[in-house]
Amino acid sequence: MVTSLTSQNSGRIPDSVEAAGRVAAERFARWVEDGAGRLPLPGSGGTGERFTALQSLGRADLSLARLAEGHADATAILHELGAPAPAVGERWGVWAARPPGTTLRARPDGNGGWLLDGLKGYCSGAHTCTHALVTADTDDGHRLFAVATDHPGYAPVAGTWRAVGMAGSDTPDVRFTAVPARATGGVDAYLRRPGFAHGGVGVAACWLGGARGVADALFAAARHRVQDPLVAAHLGAVDVLLHSAQWAIDVAASEIDADPLEDGPPARLRAARVRALVADVCARVLDEVGRALGAGPLCHDSEHAQRVADLTVYIRQHHAERDLAALGRLVTEETTDAVGAKEGTDG
């Protein structure tokens, strides 16, 4: 059963956010029941199929894609770390963000388990997920924990998700008070596993689906304005952008299937490059479509306006220059290693 957005707290959520969250939650629950188990795991030989499915969800509804990608990522993480897979009817999320002002700590409960206390930010599906994989600080370092959301110490914080874009993703802060948890993997296992980079490409596939959804309005307009050279020019630019991003996703899927356990610089570089490229493509598609169609569809087509707002928010999971700087450091390290290896062979 999907929990009401207001039932676990007394704060008032804007009606538009509550309605969007309810719709996305219902779609997410149906997706888990109908198709989640058939999604191939990353590196299983069907990674392209996995990314195509996530892209299709993004094209239809980015909030749904965000929730579905979280469940799919949780399933892959549990598999990779040797933990039990989600049971029938369970809806999982992955909550690993560490925004300023939020701290979640885990402490041993004395019986081999753990208890979580503190605040976790950006918990997509907080009112919808039955379980989540959550990162928390321990005395030994950062670790991943599996939790159920039906404990009385689990409480989404009212008023912390008032978004217009991605309203349906239901991503508030969550307060944990002595919530029982199960450790999943060792210290830093969440970040060190090969699938961390693979999952980053899956998020980019969702972004690309959102860009295709925004571009659909331009494709539809072009069919009715075949004599307009400016619309045709914008359409051509968008077509090139979408195909370049698609090629990057497809190549990444093939490389992941060819070497699924690669967790070194090549995997991290691949994910960083694909995410940077797709985020840039999405931003440029938003711009091209807006310049081609003007304010009309943003003001009179609520579905298109929501797609634009959703994509604008979702691609901010790519942290712009901060992520580009991290990519630059990876490139420098790879180049330095390559030069060192060459000098070693030349000597």
Query: To which H or E segment does residue 104 belong?
Result: strand 104-108
Give phi and psi for 80, each to the nearest 5.
-65, -35
Predicted pLDDT of residue 334: 80
Nearest partner of 86 among 45, 32, 138, judged by Cα: 32
Token pair belonging to 23 = 């719709």
pLDDT tens for the chain, 347 residues: list them.
455 554 444 445 567 678 888 899 999 999 999 877 789 999 999 999 999 999 999 999 999 999 999 999 999 999 999 999 999 999 999 999 999 999 999 999 999 999 999 999 999 999 999 999 999 999 999 999 999 999 999 999 999 999 999 999 999 999 999 999 999 999 999 999 989 999 999 999 999 999 999 999 999 999 988 788 999 999 999 999 999 999 999 999 999 999 999 878 899 999 999 999 999 999 999 999 999 999 999 999 999 999 999 999 999 999 999 999 999 999 998 877 654 554 555 55
Owner of token pair 């600080």: 137
Cα 154 from Cα 172, distance rounded (Å): 12
Cα 330 to Cα 131, 203, 248, 265, 270, distances in angstroms: 34, 20, 18, 7, 10
Predicted pLDDT of residue 17: 75
Nearest partner of 19 among 166, 163, 168, judged by Cα: 168
Predicted pLDDT of residue 1: 40
Report yes or no: 297 and 255 within 8 Å, Cβ to Cβ.
no
Predicted pLDDT of residue 323: 96
Distance separating the N- and C-terminal Cα atoms of the chain:
67
Token pair belonging to 170 = 């239901």
Report yes or no: 93 and 124 within 8 Å, Cβ to Cβ.
yes
The 3-state DSSP class for residue 317 equals helix
* Residues in Cβ contact with 310 at an 8 Å cutoff, skipping those fewer than 6 apart: 62, 63, 165, 166, 210
Token pair belonging to 130 = 């039955």
Cα 66 from Cα 74, distance rounded (Å): 12
Q: Checking phi first, is residue 328 left (phi over 0); if not, alpha (psi -120 to 50) or beta?
A: alpha
| pTM value surpassing 0.95 | no
Predicted pLDDT of residue 8: 42
Q: How many CB atoms lie within 10 A of CB 247?
A: 11
Q: Which residues share a beta bridge with 116?
A: 106, 179
Report the amino acid identity of residue 323.
D
DSSP state of 158: T
Cα 37 to Cα 3, 61, 134, 139, 140, distances in angstroms: 22, 20, 21, 36, 34
Cα 316 from Cα 319, distance rounded (Å): 6
